[in-house]
């Protein structure tokens, strides 16, 4: 037997429950891992609440995209994995089919990546959603080059902090925004070249001052909402604005026509990378290289035990965290 987290109805963190279930056996193309750490994501909170891009199977929905642990069983055709391998889960599956909030989890082999030597389970569980998203935004679709300026909002989130590190890793200049100056020094310490407190400073004026009036080469937006019209004015005429989240559920107005001219404005979905085998292959190599070199290193906000999953989700939704929220599993 093993324990896993399920929920039977949509709602707040309190709907999550830990239940004892039979230990699953991996089928064709699957691997079972002993889970040592689990990374929490806003996507899972939305999935639990019924506001994600797809709906859970109720009752008895599983949950979870990220985990790290050790291979304990290998199914037929799951080539490249052996008992005892240290691995991390990359979110390349639907939570209606698999979940990682568990002491032991069966996952598709294509969703697993070997952890480099020296990368512990907490780091492994905190890496792949945030850094794969950041890689897709900045490298695959943003086309950022050394010396380019990158504007990152919601910068104290796990994706925001990962984007700061990815920008530095490729020699770009990360400019972080946050609502108030409370987190300004922490963002500078985390590698941001500049930090703008959006509720205290004029974003467009500050960006133009920092870029010699040109605007940024790339802006990545996790918020959307009415602020879109301001954000697009901070982008250079030949730059790109990528939307990847919707933390503000208020409808986002279409930017004014002059702000469209020459700019590439589009949404980015995580699956554009994870469902493309060649893009995913490149992402895995890029991220593992950064982990080995130490230039990519996830910031951990706080760890909870798996038995405290409700409290962990409450903290995740408090918007007070700086970095990744983790669940650890005691065996």
Q: Are strands 149-152 and 173-178 parallel, antiparallel or unpaired?
A: parallel
pTM higher than 0.85: yes
Assigned CATH for 2-127+298-328: 3.90.180.10
Identify the burial level of 188 via C-beta atoms within 10 angstroms of its C-beta, where 0-12 means exposed, 13-18 middle and 19 or more buried.
middle
Q: What is the pLDDT of residue 254?
A: 65
Asked whether the beta carbons of 210 and 143 are under 8 A apart, the reply is no
Burial (CB < 10 A; 0-12, 13-18, 19+), residue 9, is exposed
The reported pLDDT for the residue numbered 114 is: 95
Domain spans of the chain, in order of start? 2-127+298-328, 130-272
Tell me the CATH class for 130-272.
Answer: alpha beta
CA distance linking residue 243 with residue 233, whole number of Å: 15
User: How many whole angstroms separate alpha carbon 58 and alpha carbon 9?
Assistant: 6
Confidence at residue 256, expressed as pLDDT on a 0 to 100 scale: 58
Tell me what the pLDDT averaged over the chain comes to: 93
The whole-number pLDDT of residue 252 equals 65
Q: 326 and 40 in contact (C-beta within 8 Å)?
A: yes
Positions in the chain whose pLDDT score sits under 70: 248, 251-261
């Amino acid at each position: 037997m093993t324990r896993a987290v399920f929920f039977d109805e949509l709602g707040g963190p309190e709907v999550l429950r830990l239940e004892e279930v039979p230990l699953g056996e991996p089928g064709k193309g699957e691997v079972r891992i002993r889970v040592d750490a689990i990374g929490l994501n806003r996507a899972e909170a939305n999935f639990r609440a019924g506001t994600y891009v797809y709906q859970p199977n109720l009752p008895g929905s599983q949950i979870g995209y990220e985990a790290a642990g050790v291979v304990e069983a290998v199914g037929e055709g799951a080539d490249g994995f052996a008992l005892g391998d240290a691995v991390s889960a990359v979110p390349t599956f639907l939570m209606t089919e698999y979940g990682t909030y568990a002491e032991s989890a069966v996952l598709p082999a294509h969703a697993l990546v070997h952890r480099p030597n020296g990368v512990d389970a907490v780091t492994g569980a905190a890496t792949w959603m945030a850094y794969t998203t950041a890689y897709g935004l900045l490298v695959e679709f943003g086309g950022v080059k050394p010396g380019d300026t990158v504007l990152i909002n919601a910068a104290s989130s796990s994706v925001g902090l990962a984007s700061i590190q990815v920008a530095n890793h490729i020699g770009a200049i990360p400019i972080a925004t946050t609502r108030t100056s409370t987190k300004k020094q922490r963002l500078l310490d985390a590698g941001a070249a500049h930090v703008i407190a959006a509720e205290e400073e004029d974003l467009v004026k500050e960006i133009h001052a920092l870029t010699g009036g040109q605007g940024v080469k790339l802006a990545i937006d996790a918020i959307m909402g009415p602020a879109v019209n301001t954000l697009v004015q901070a982008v250079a005429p030949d730059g790109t604005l990528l939307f990847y989240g919707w933390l503000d559920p208020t409808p986002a107005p279409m930017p004014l026509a002059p702000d469209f001219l020459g700019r590439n404005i589009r949404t980015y979905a995580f699956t554009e990378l994870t469902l493309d085998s060649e893009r995913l292959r490149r992402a895995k190599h890029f991220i593992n290289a950064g982990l080995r070199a130490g230039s990519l290193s996830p910031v951990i906000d706080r760890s909870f035990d798996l038995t405290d999953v409700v409290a962990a989700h409450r903290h995740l939704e408090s918007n007070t965290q700086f970095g990744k929220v983790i669940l650890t599993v005691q065996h």
